[in-house]
Amino acid sequence: MFTTRFAPSPTGYLHLGHFFSAWTAFSRARAERGVFRLRLEDIDPTRCRPEYAAAIVEDLAWAGMFWDGAVRVQSRHLVEYGAAAERLERMGLLYACFCSRSEIARAQAAPHGAGAVYPGTCRRLSAEERADKMAAGLPYALRLDVGRAMAGAGKPRFFEESEGWVTAAPELLGDVILARREVPTSYHLCVVHDDAVQGVTHVIRGEDLRDSTHIHVLLQHVLGLPTPVYAHHRLLTDAAGKRLAKRDFAATLRSMREAGETPAGLWRRVGEFRAVA
Ligand code: GLU
């Protein structure tokens, strides 16, 4: 059964850009007579707030966008994500990274540095160096060893609706963090786990997550999970061409509603955007 989802992080109120994303997935699910699921990606307690989570559910319901089944709330499933991280660790695909943000920034900026990608400093630590740092109680995060994971995964591919078959290039993002001390999992791991748990056959989301898809497809391969079809849509921008962000309060569904906008008006707006896109 065609199944897609909308998976916002409750770090602020929904704005028109989110609504466009939700609407794109929702309309497609309805056109396919499929399933539309809602998931709240609230694993980061430093950025997510329960009042935003409640507001997302309320705003979507007000807008007349109904989802199938229960809302999946990620913070209630940390044990599952921890188990997935442990599996990867047992496969030897994670390594401890002790680098601070500033150390990483310095290494990236160095001549021949890796640009925005983690330069792999801690991947090259000897077992002894690693044990010493652990014994000294240094804080660390667990990173995915992309090179090693790729070596065992062959050449994973995914179907992107606008492009056709794409060979995964997870080196675009490199050795991403899959777990931290404060949050024992990460966006990448939770998304992959939950898309499988929720039976998602089509991931429809903004093109800002296009590079992440390459990591997700690799994780699906090593964890033995199915790879959905992907469709990355364009992002809504403001009149100046700047991407809408949560800080642009003027465009939140709440403020629009307070200013007298109706659900029908909202649907017209996103529909018109698609018509001219
Ligand atoms: N939670 C992510 C966000 O709000 C979206 C995740 C996804 O669609 O895969 O940007």
What pLDDT was estimated at residue 106?
Answer: 77
For residues 104-132, give the mean pLDDT: 84
Q: How far apart are CA 215 and CA 230, in angstroms?
A: 13
Say which DSSP state 242 is in: P
What pLDDT was estimated at residue 162?
Answer: 93
For residues 270-277, give the mean pLDDT: 71
Q: Any residues with CB less than 8 A from the CB of 187 and at least 6 apart, and which?
A: 41, 43, 212
What pLDDT was estimated at residue 114?
Answer: 60
- Whether 12 lines ligand 1, by a CB cut-off of 6 Å, is no
- Whether 205 lines ligand 1, by a CB cut-off of 6 Å, is yes
For residues 54-73, give the mean pLDDT: 96
- Whether 8 lines ligand 1, by a CB cut-off of 6 Å, is yes
Structure tokens at 185: 């999992």
124 CA from centroid of ligand 1 (Å): 31
Structure confidence by residue, pLDDT tens digits, 205-259: 999 999 999 999 999 999 999 999 999 998 887 666 777 665 555 579 999 999 9
What pLDDT was estimated at residue 275?
Answer: 62
Q: Higher pLDDT residue, 57 or 113? A: 57
Structure confidence by residue, pLDDT tens digits, 223-232: 999 999 999 9
Strands 164-167 vs 157-160: parallel, antiparallel or unpaired: antiparallel
What pLDDT was estimated at residue 111?
Answer: 65
Strands (E), the chain: 3-6, 35-40, 72-73, 94-97, 141-144, 157-160, 164-167, 177-179, 202-206, 229-233
Band of residue 133 on the pLDDT scale cut at 50, 70, 90: very high
Say which DSSP state 226 is in: P
CA contacts within 13 A on the Cβ side of 276: 7
Q: What is the pTM of this model?
A: 0.93
3-state secondary structure of 54: helix
Structure confidence by residue, pLDDT tens digits, 190-209: 999 999 999 999 999 999 99
What pLDDT was estimated at residue 272?
Answer: 78
Say if residues 261 and 63 touch (Cβ distance below 8 Å). no
125 CA from centroid of ligand 1 (Å): 33
